[in-house]
Amino acid sequence: DITLSQRVQRVKPSPTLAVTARAAELRAAGKDIIGLGAGEPDFDTPDHIKEAAIQAIRNGATRYTAVDGTAELKSAIINKFRRDNGLTCQPDEILVSCGGKQSFYNLCQALLNPGDEVIIPAPYWVSYPDMVRLADGEPVIVRAGLEQRFKITPEQLEAAISPRTRLFVINSPSNPTGVAYSRAELEALAAVLLRNPQILVATDDMYEHILWSDEPFVNIVNVAEELVPRSIVLNGVSKAYAMTGWRIGYAGGPKPLIQAMKKIQSQSTSNPAAVSQAAAVEALDGDQSCIAPMLAAFHERHDYVVAALNALDGVRCAEADGTFYAFPDFSSVIEQLDGINDDAELAEHLLNEAGVALVPGSAFGAPGYLRLSFATGMDTLKDALGRIAGVL
């Protein structure tokens, strides 16, 4: 028997990847499965970005780069932060990593000591609590259900703060709910944070461009400049540019923190793939018109999916502001169905009986809900919703 570390035993594998794998397994066994579990755009990476990568290979982008990213990519990120977010960064305040996932991982490793608390609003992106645990930190979960549109209040934030609080994480628009905080709501949360200067703020802006609310994108740092010296902005090209497989994420923040994160990365992966970095330069600096058609498709599908879900008996689904996720409340359905006791069993039931793969809400810290990814064509979505209605 091999005895594994306590560290690895503290975490669970990514549940979203697990659902995708289970759907693939059933499909390989000949079953007709519609996968609405994956968190990635169904679109292909835009051609001009692919071309830039092909050119980069031809031009010899086949070697190690600086651990924290090429000068060209850092410059593209600095321009992007200035253009879209009104933020000014120096090159040594930027770290490019192998996906947004590694950015957050590096942050936890560089920041947390055993027992340090990290406040994470639920529903949360599945990886936050486990990455905190991998760094010996303690996730402190603050719950916000559908009745408050999945957004925590300043009172809830205040109540979660302790002398051990080291970090507050905010993800807006959110995976899995698609909901975004308004400027006013962010200001109210920022006011609490301004009274607690020991807390660092991480804003995960991964879905910045997949947003259709009336208010333009804004993050918590934009509404409270005083937070800038103790904030880190996380972003990446995976979702906005349909580049999940290229593995490029980036972080902008205070130099000492970024340099510590860089040190962690230098002893784990080193630089992200050189070719992917060249592609990311084109994504960030090149023609931005590739985003609009994807956004329009997500919005249209959102409207269909939310209406179709709300038409199901006992299902409630909030309108989202962006992303490609719907996060319906199935708790009444779970209560009504014989032999189904929770969201995980319901997801299993829908996978087996309807052939539709969804992720149980408990994976996101929200039991009773299911996450449906509408990053798939309209016909497939109609088929899936029809099947779910049939089984229910």
Positions that interact with ligand PLP (CB under 6 A): 39, 99-101, 125, 171, 175, 204, 206, 236, 238, 244, 249
Q: Which is nearer to ligand PLP, 85 or 238 (CB)?
A: 238
At closest approach, how far in Å is the CB of 293 from ligand PLP? 21
What's the CA angle centered on 184, arms 178 and 189, to 5 degrees? 80
Q: Which is nearer to ligand PLP, 70 or 244 (CB)?
A: 244
In sequence order, what DSSP letters do the residues of 158-192 get, joined into one string?
Answer: HHH--TTEEEEEEESSPTTT-----HHHHHHHHHH
Q: Which is nearer to ligand PLP, 150 or 340 (CB)?
A: 150
At closest approach, how far in Å is the CB of 204 from ligand PLP? 5
Q: Which is nearer to ligand PLP, 140 or 375 (CB)?
A: 375
Q: Which residue is nearest to ligand PLP (CB)?
A: 99
At closest approach, how far in Å is the CB of 359 from ligand PLP? 11
Q: Which is nearer to ligand PLP, 65 or 235 (CB)?
A: 235
First vs last C-alpha separation in the chain: 44
At closest approach, how far in Å is the CB of 210 from ligand PLP? 10
Burial label for 7, CB within 10 Å (0-12, 13-18, 19+), is exposed
Q: Which is nearer to ligand PLP, 165 or 244 (CB)?
A: 244
Detail the DSSP E strand segments found in 253-368.
Answer: 325-326, 356-357, 359-360
Cβ atoms of residues 59 and 52 within 8 Å: no
* C-alpha closest to that of 250 among 75, 110, 118, 14: 75
Cβ atoms of residues 254 and 93 within 8 Å: yes
Structure tokens at 125: 């992106």
At closest approach, how far in Å is the CB of 257 from ligand PLP? 18
At closest approach, how far in Å is the CB of 11 from ligand PLP? 16
Residues 6+ apart with CB under 8 A from 275: 53, 56, 57, 61, 62
